[in-house]
């Protein structure tokens, strides 16, 4: 931390306060949005600013948060992963598929010991991530298209596994982490926090993390620097799939059921969290810190809208508008940054 602070200080000195603030716009704007929204809902509804409700918000954003960790890596590399929600879904379904269900559940499943079921499910999502990785790096399919195909493939596997039915049981470890709590704190919040922290540490303090930023910042330069760009991109796609898979397993435990299309809203939510937080869609800028702010913006917005009296159909529109505003800021911040660095 100290290192990046001295660098920042030197940066500020070299550039002057105005340009420095402008260059930090992508970090400042989401934070201001968060503060503004929180204050707004706090005044608008007495039930919003309570400790209980903070707990609700945290729990509500946990699954998105887990998925968004991996997606942050992908977007930092200037790629996209549209298969996150489908992979979450299929992994959640797989872990249920490998668990003994009650007799009234009409699924031809394959009951296995819990640890094996979890392991197989993780392998499954990692494998799907690997297919994304190979398509992107070896064959050269743009990630947008490759993961669009994967979205369909994963949905197809889900459909085959559950055949329109609903499964309920998951291994006990998963059901504890997904729906249990310790000392009043839901395990799922703890898991999300640990994964976000781990993602942050990897991105900030490891060599791999640096490579992710550099590949995202200028892919050609990364290649001319002798980095194995394909390996880095491939790894990032696998990380994203595994994070989605974990999110999917815990999500299934959290919702109490595993079924088709259960995670559909998480695709947009996860992308929104990352982008609203200020991570650049052009790669190389942002990070888990931004994603956390983005998660809170989304969480506060979704939760807050439930506390005020608004037409529930209007809510969808409001969310869309906020997302649009965030995108505008994202692109605008990039331009400012390019200008100051010229």
Q: Indicate the residue among 11 and 306 with the shorter CB distance to another protein.
A: 11
Q: Indicate the residue among 155 and 229 with the shorter CB distance to another protein.
A: 229
User: Which of 225, 190, 191, 220 lies closest to 207, judged by CA?
Assistant: 225
- Exposure string of 9-42, with b = 16+ CB inside 10 Å and e = fewer, is eeeeeeeeeebbeebbbbbebbbebbeebbeebe
Q: Indicate the residue among 6 and 309 with the shorter CB distance to another protein.
A: 6
Nearest distance from C-beta of residue 13 to another protein, angstroms: 6
Nearest distance from C-beta of residue 288 to another protein, angstroms: 16
DSSP category for residue 100 = P
- Number of neighbouring beta carbons within 10 Å of residue 166: 17
For residue 280, give Cα distances in angstroms to 211, 240, 290: 16, 17, 10
Nearest distance from C-beta of residue 237 to another protein, angstroms: 17
Q: Indicate the residue among 163 and 210 with the shorter CB distance to another protein.
A: 210
Q: Indicate the residue among 3 and 312 with the shorter CB distance to another protein.
A: 3
Contact of 177 with 114, CB cutoff 8 Å: no
- Positions touching another protein (CB under 8 A) are 3-4, 6-7, 10-11, 13-16, 19, 205-207, 209-211, 213-214, 217-218, 220-231, 284-285, 337-338, 341-342
Tokens 């969480």 found at = 299
What does the block give as tokens for 38? 């929180």
What does the block give as tokens for 23? 């260059």
Nearest distance from C-beta of residue 289 to another protein, angstroms: 17
Nearest distance from C-beta of residue 280 to another protein, angstroms: 10
């Amino acid at each position: 931390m100290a290192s990046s602070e001295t660098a920042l200080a030197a940066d500020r000195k070299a550039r002057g306060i105005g340009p420095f603030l402008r260059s930090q716009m992508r970090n400042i704007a989401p934070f201001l949005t968060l503060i503004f929204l929180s204050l707004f809902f706090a005044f608008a509804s007495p039930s919003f600013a309570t400790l209980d409700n903070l707990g609700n918000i945290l729990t509500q954003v946990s699954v998105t948060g887990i998925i968004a960790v991996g997606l942050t890596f992908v977007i930092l590399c200037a790629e996209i992963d549209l298969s996150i929600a489908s992979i979450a879904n299929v992994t959640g379904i797989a872990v249920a598929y490998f668990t003994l269900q009650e007799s009234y559940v009409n699924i031809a499943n394959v009951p296995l010991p819990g640890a094996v079921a979890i392991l197989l499910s993780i392998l499954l999502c990692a494998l799907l991530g690997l297919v994304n990785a190979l398509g992107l790096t070896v064959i050269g399919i743009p990630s947008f298209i490759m993961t669009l195909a994967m979205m369909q493939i994963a949905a197809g596997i889900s459909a085959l596994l559950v055949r329109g039915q609903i499964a309920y049981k998951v291994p006990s470890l998963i059901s504890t982490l997904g729906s249990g709590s310790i000392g009043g704190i839901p395990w799922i919040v703890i898991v999300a926090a640990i994964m976000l922290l781990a993602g942050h540490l990897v991105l900030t303090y490891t060599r791999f993390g640096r490579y992710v930023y550099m590949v995202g910042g200028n892919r050609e330069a990364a290649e001319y620097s002798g980095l194995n760009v394909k390996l880095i991109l491939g790894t990032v796609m696998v990380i994203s799939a595994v994070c989605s898979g974990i999110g999917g397993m815990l999500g299934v435990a959290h919702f109490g059921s595993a079924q088709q299309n259960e995670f559909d809203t998480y695709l947009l939510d996860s992308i929104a969290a990352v982008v609203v937080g200020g991570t650049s869609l052009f790669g190389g800028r942002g990070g888990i810190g931004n994603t956390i702010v983005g998660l809170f913006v989304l969480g506060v917005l979704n939760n807050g809208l439930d506390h005020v009296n608004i037409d529930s159909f209007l809510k969808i529109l409001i969310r869309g508008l906020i997302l649009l505003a965030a995108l505008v800021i994202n692109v605008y911040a990039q331009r400012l940054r390019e200008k100051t660095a010229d």
